[in-house]
Structure 1
């Protein structure tokens, strides 16, 4: 038996804000959220999850979020959930700039988050905390796509 990779992705326009009424602009190539001045907002990303393949539970290797933190926005936290259970948390970040064009490599990519969680039971949700550091100007956070790399032993 060998580990088989299963990558599962969704378009950015499947993302949604936690705050009802947050200005959201969906297009065929992604979604743009307008974060009000001086606020932080949670954005949720449902990752299509191959929980069981061939009687084998999925192992989540990593999640990837292709995003562009425009103007004064910063990505400051990423939480990964398996159904109701948080399985990973990345904090203390202040990621800015355009990371929406592809999966980054190297020693410190800003859009790849290594999780390494065996036995996924329910479904993966990724939650982003985005902060607008300006006290006077709204700014935009764009997501083009997001997904995860899963392994199954088949």
Structure 2
């Protein structure tokens, strides 16, 4: 399950996904340890180039010049998990933005590339 996103060949798009976030529990702010984005991009269908992690309106970490593709939609693994430099104390709530690039059919037209997002989430310390 999840959401299937189709893209025009040769185009790129920025997508945003909110993450359900426990901000305060037992009078303590949660810290995000490891956000993840479960996805599936079949070979030749494109790639995720950038991931940015937000707390409310504030971006606190970026991961650029990526080339994420393949089947990473049914389990948390080392490709779909984002390793933060430091645990981040949550103030507002988390979200992930990612930039997807679809390939261009050079010799012949190609069908619209498909990206499947199963879910986005995070491991938190409370």
Which aligned runs of 4 or more in structure 1 are off by greater than 6 angstroms? Answer: none
Uncovered stretches (5+) of structure 2, i.e. residues with no partner: none
The 8 Å contact of residues 72 and 134 in structure 1, kept in 2 or not, is answered as no
Q: Output the CA distance in 2 between the equivalents of 1:92 and 1:34.
A: 22
Query: TM-score under structure 1 normalisation?
Result: 0.74
Structure with greater strand percent = 1
Deviation at 1:73, TM superposition (A): 1.1
> Does 2:106 correspond to 1:112?
no
The residue number in structure 2 matching 1:5 is none
Deviation at 1:118, TM superposition (A): 3.0
> Does 2:107 correspond to 1:134?
no
Q: Note the 1:68-147 alignment, pairs <5 A.
A: 68-70=40-42, 71-104=44-77, 109-115=78-84, 116-135=86-105, 136-137=109-110, 138-147=112-121
Query: TM-score under structure 2 normalisation?
Result: 0.89
Uncovered stretches (5+) of structure 1, i.e. residues with no partner: 1-28
Q: Output the CA distance in 2 between the equivalents of 1:76 and 1:119.
A: 26
Q: Output the CA distance in 2 between the equivalents of 1:123 and 1:110.
A: 23
> Does 2:38 correspond to 1:66?
yes
Number of residue pairs matched?
120
SS at match of 2:39: strand
More relative contact order, 1 or 2 (CA 8 Å, 6+ apart):
2
For the aligned residues, what is the CA RMSD? 1.2
